[in-house]
Structure 1
Amino acid sequence: MTRAVRIDQHGGPEELKIVDVQVGDPGPGEVRIRHHAIGLNFIDVYQRSGLYPFAMPLHLGMEGAGVIEAVGEGVTHLRVGDRAAYASQPPGSYCEVRVMPAKCVCVLPDGISFETGAAMMLKGLTAQYLLKKTLPVEGLQAGDHVLFHAAAGGVGLIACQWAKALGLQLIGTAGSDAKCALALANGAAHAINYSREDFAARVKDITGGRGVKVVYDSVGKDTWDKSLDCLRPFGLMASFGNASGPVPPFAPGSLGNKGSLYVTRQTLFTHIATRESTQAMADDLFKVVLSGEVKIHIEQRFKLEDVQAAHRALEARQTTGCTILTL
């Protein structure tokens, strides 16, 4: 038996319950992993609340790190005793031990701790596909400006550092002066407190009226319209989350009026759909973390049994950097 977090219906943090579950042996293409640390992400809130509906009961969590205890038939890239980390579907990482598909589980380099591994996989792989694969039609070159919302969050702080390493001028937004300072300390070229500044006007000032080539937006409803106004002609609006709520319907004709813009809605799990793509992206992430170009900031730690408090803090935007659950 092992402890796990389960919800029996969509709702608030009070729906998160610690339960005892039986864990068996892995089947073909699966592994059993004993967690040392578990990552917390805003997608967990979406799944808990019902914004992303799932059949009940649901075991939450998309990210973790630990040691492989057993390997199913056909799994060749992992062995018993390997240190490992993952961002993966289906949900279920909020637990001590789980059986899961092996496809997205990667060997964790010895130079990266379990806590760092648990904190960085979903957020770091997200930053990787945004900055390396979700690109405007004209591409990105050193010196180009990009706009990144929620720059002091887990994905944002990784993106600030990685963008600087790529030579990009990242303009970050955040909801307080303290969060803006954090983004600047991690490589953002500029930071805008959108709670008291018009970020679209400020972006135009920073870029000499030209706008940015790409906006990376995980906020959604509250930032969408002004984000489109930040783009230069042929710019890309890259949506990858809905922290403030889903983006309402909009007229495609408006994209032409604003400069023949492009719009895309990205999700990590399309990018890590194969073992090969998962490993290639993870290798890129491991390289920048081991080099020191990107540091993973774990700013909040909660015990597994305090998962309700962790969700309340995340949903209230009281967190910065990465948050993990410990065992």
Structure 2
Amino acid sequence: MPQIDDLVLFTQVIEHASFSKVAELNKITKSVVSKRISKLENQLGVQLIYRTTRKLTLTEPGSILYHRSKDINQVAQSAFDAITGYNEALSGNIRVSVPTISGELLLAEALSDFCQKHPGLTVEMSMDNHFVDLVAQNYDLVIRTGYLEDSSLIARHIFNSRWVICASADYLEKHGVPETPKALHHHNCLGYTQQSTGPFDWLFVRNNTETYTLKVDGNFSSDNAVALRKATLANNGIAYLPTCLVFDDLKSGKLIEVLAEHSGKVVGIYAVYPYTKKPSKRIQALIEHIRERYITMKERF
């Protein structure tokens, strides 16, 4: 089986386009580099590089191998960095931006507990539902939900948040309980404008696996989920809300979940930070602390 070190050496040869430079970089001879590349080719049973006196050219198998393995050295180094000095004392200041709901329900306590656990460290938490510019606004870490498009940032998945369709008992008694998603066309649905698909494009699931979007209608929408919760509690319609926001209302019976077997909205919660080869230990530790706190309260999410 090929050795990882030989694979790393192969990627270096391609990146530097020179056996000599790679030999100098690794403090070995050029002939050793050549022999190890030849050994890798023999083990794989394919030629990886066309060698001439003027240049090195990748073969088709070589190109495939390079593009699949070019980050292997960085990934390995990041793994080692993640635990190197793990027990070192944490210090400094961390600026964090979090969503309003998560901040109020979980993260304010979690982050302040983190500061208590590490006396030499301070955290400045800002609550904002819009995605902030980490670099321009000087944030070290951002907690957000949904898909990350900016490739210059790193996103680590922390948890999944399940959303529920719910209404008050009084509303359902007056207007009836919808038995199918299409029945929502006969109800006043409350829209969440922070959805990228639109406030009244609700996500459902059929056959336990296939998701689809159904457009509903309503006379009220907001970019604030707390406002939608209040409108729902006031008997004004049916809303699609994060479980964590209405968990206590569902437990107490103030709100009732409907179409549970059809609701398909699950939103990923991510820790986002600027791209670096080696995130600071305090950022790594804080992300892990946040992840553990979500796990301990998974029933609410």
The bucket for the TM-score relative to the shorter chain is under 0.3
The TM-score, its normalising length taken from structure 2, stands at 0.25
Indicate the structure whose relative CO is greater, using CA pairs within 8 Å and at least 6 residues apart.
2
The TM-score, its normalising length taken from structure 1, stands at 0.24
Q: If you compute each CA radius of gyration, which structure gives the higher value, 1 or 2?
A: 2
